[in-house]
Amino acid sequence: MANVIIVGTQWGDEGKGKVVDLYARHADVIARFQGGDNAGHTLVVEGEQSIFHLIPSGILHDGKICVLGNGMVINPAVLIREIDDLRKRDLFPPHTRLCISDKAHIIMPYHRGLDSAREGYTKGTKIGTTEKGIGPAYEDKVTRTGIRLCDLLNDEVFKEKLVRNVEEKNFLLTERYGAEPCDRQQIYDEYRGYADRLRDYATDTSLVIRRAIEQGNNILFEGAQGGHLDIDHGTYPFVTSSNTVAGSACCGTGLGPTEIDAVLGICKAYTTRVGGGPFMTELTDEIGDMIQQKGKEFGATTGRKRRCGWLDTVLVKQSVRLSGITGLIVTKLDILTGLDRVKICVGYSLNGETYTEHVPADITNFEQCRPIYEEMDGWTEEIGEARTIADLPSGARRYIERLEALTGVGVIAVSVGPGREETIVVDHPFV
């Protein structure tokens, strides 16, 4: 039995979906613990692509329990659409159970309206929100005015909260932002239908996880986004609205911290970022364009191009510390194939000071930093057929070894292509 947490070590989009899918076959429970449909996991199985925004990636495996934890904010329309799409494509296994925490908060139309209105109203630098209503939903959670799934399922409570919230949000939408108000009755009618569809999935998922532990099951905890989008520890304010570090798995599912056995950090072989914010190693030349095109670096949720740059080990080292990462999984190593020389950022310089262990908290200081690079020989040999580290060309092996040396954490798997089978497994958390 093992309880394993998977988190991203960069700004998200590290390829967590493929890794979760890879390990899910050995897990009995796959639980997601934060975020909403601002996340997107892309899986390629037998040549068929699937993109999930809410449902854990393990849903493709039969005989599993897939959990949407209390730390999430859920757009019921998106969730129902995903469920229906899986069933239509015959991808929802017959013996797999989907459980949604009755304590998870619900994204409402006024959340999406406020998100969009604020982003459009902002003058100057924008955060780059996906405008999915994630931030405003978490705001209501913190101010204790949010609507949880258990509230949605209780008609009297739902109606009472909806009246109060729509009145307040419509004032903000119309008076502050000059946007269109929400129609309370329309929302009520729409969400009553969602309640009927989701009722059978709602439960206390903390108890589901507890019972699985007592039965000696393997549990995989799946995070969304990446460590540097964490609301507390990320490059604030260019962050998401939830805690993305490993500790959030405990708060977001009701897991006790003494139950954690391993934390795996997903590290893309280069760095990408969607939206605004400083990016020390960003490449705006032909190499950056090549990585962007070859790596198909488009947001699974937004479709926006991802900014691309060299691997930044300052980011990774901070994530290792904040999440207690015990093993690294390198993804998309194959995208760097064909480069004669590759660079790794080992630190930042600012006014004579060097940062190698952490990202400056002051965003203005971070913006003024300059990357410190090590340059290495690259490789030109295709690596998609590699199934052991020894199969990799010498340049790729040295690249992996240098990442291990700089972060102090061993690499336990390397992705050399988009498919399930295109993976080098060095060590396995469940086997």
Cite the active site residues: 13, 41
Cβ-Cβ contacts under 8 Å for 214 (sequence gap 6 or more)? none
8-state DSSP, 72 = B
Residue 271 tokens, joined: 């760095």
Residue 428 tokens, joined: 């396995």
- Taking the alpha carbons at both ends of the chain, their separation in whole angstroms is 9
Cβ–Cβ under 8 Å, residues 373 and 343? yes
Cβ-Cβ contacts under 8 Å for 293 (sequence gap 6 or more)? none
Q: What pairs with residue 262 in β-bridges?
A: 4
Q: State which amino acid sits at residue 2.
A: A
Alpha-helical runs (H) found in 146-218: 149-152, 155-171, 184-198, 205-214
Backbone torsions φ then ψ of 412, nearest 5 degrees? -105, -10
Distance of CA 314 to the CA centre of its chain: 19
For the chain, the 3-state helix, strand and coil shares in percent, each to the nearest 5, are 35, 25, 40
Closest CA to 385 of 409, 417, 411, 363: 417
CA distance 171 to 281: 43
Residue 104 tokens, joined: 């998870």
If DSSP states are collapsed to H, E and C, what string results for 354-397? EECCCCCCCHHHHHHCEEEEEEEEEECCCCCCCCCHHHCCHHHH
CA distance 119 to 302: 15
Residue 417 tokens, joined: 């292509």
Number of Cβ atoms within 10 Å of the Cβ of 201: 18
Closest CA to 253 of 227, 285, 223: 223
